[in-house]
Amino acid sequence: MAEVYCVERTYECGCVGEKTKFWIEAKRTPKKVGRTAKTSIRKQQNNKLAAIRQLARVLNANFQNGDCMLGLDYAPSGMAKLVALAEKKCPKFSHLSSEEQDSILFAIAEHEAVLCLRRVSGAMKKRGLGLKYVIITSDRDGGTGERKRIHHHLVVNRESVPFFSKKWEKMGSVDWEFFAGQKDFYPVAEYYLRQVRHIPNAKQYICSRNLLRPQPQDRILDGNAELIVPAGGTLLFRQVSTNDHETLFASEYIRYLLPKKGQYIMSEYQ
């Protein structure tokens, strides 16, 4: 059997920490995490679950209780504008299949949302404010996968809400809900990405450039010890994955509230 070594990857995002344990095959154990380990870890990220975790890290690192979950919907007049833009872009639009029409409308709706973000950002800059956002465009039901009217989900900083109400009024309605008592944004990320249409090589969400991108810390582990939550932390989730052939070299993942940080952020907004 090929020699293996174990890598522990750790993230700290806001008040939430994550640890993942990977087993890597190698001819010999390196002194530090090298190209082989990084390549193997990247392969682990090419799935839907990894995308949810990645989005949750961004949300946990950049937003907190008091910020906002916001939705942009299209009124009948807004949908009519999307169709008019589609017909201008593609003169044969009305003769296309419903699937082809949906794809064109989806791309145009994404562009309209980006234009709205630019208008909001510009208006906020004039007031000395900055816009932070993550946006997800959806036309599917997260539970059934059935087609729904196109809409946009956003997580934004609290100061931006009044600006969206003004800049989106010609397209449709704006709904919002302020976060309160939110310990971990993973459920929000999961809810959003389950509604995303699968488009090969396309981004599932768009982030503003001013967001923090959490970076991992990697280290080589000795042995096969269970991942441990730091002293004072609170375990939120643990998952152990094995295959049919090797139960000894199990991969493991834990998510937890960091010591003190979680308590501080929670109490500040309660």
Top-confidence residue, 267 or 258: 258
pLDDT of 197 higher than 50: yes
φ, ψ (nearest 5 deg) of residue 153: -105, 140
Mean pLDDT of the chain: 86
Q: Give the Cα separation of 133 and 168 in Å (integer).
A: 15
pLDDT of residue 14: 93
Q: Give the Cα separation of 33 and 218 in Å (integer).
A: 7
**What whole-number percentage of the chain has pLDDT above 70?**
85
pLDDT digits (tens, 9 = 90+) for 108-123: 999 999 999 999 999 9
Please give the DSSP secondary-structure letter assigned to residue 58.
H
Token pair listed for 19: 């640890």
DSSP string, 86-117: HHHH-TTGGGS-HHHHHHHHHHHHHHHHHHHH
Q: Which helix (H) or strand (E) holds 243?
A: none
Q: Give the Cα separation of 50 and 47 in Å (integer).
A: 5
pLDDT of residue 140: 81
State the average pLDDT over residues 118-143: 93
pTM over 0.85: no
| Domain locations in the chain as residue ranges | 4-50+215-269, 68-178
Range scoring the smallest mean pLDDT among 33-37, 67-71, 219-223: 33-37
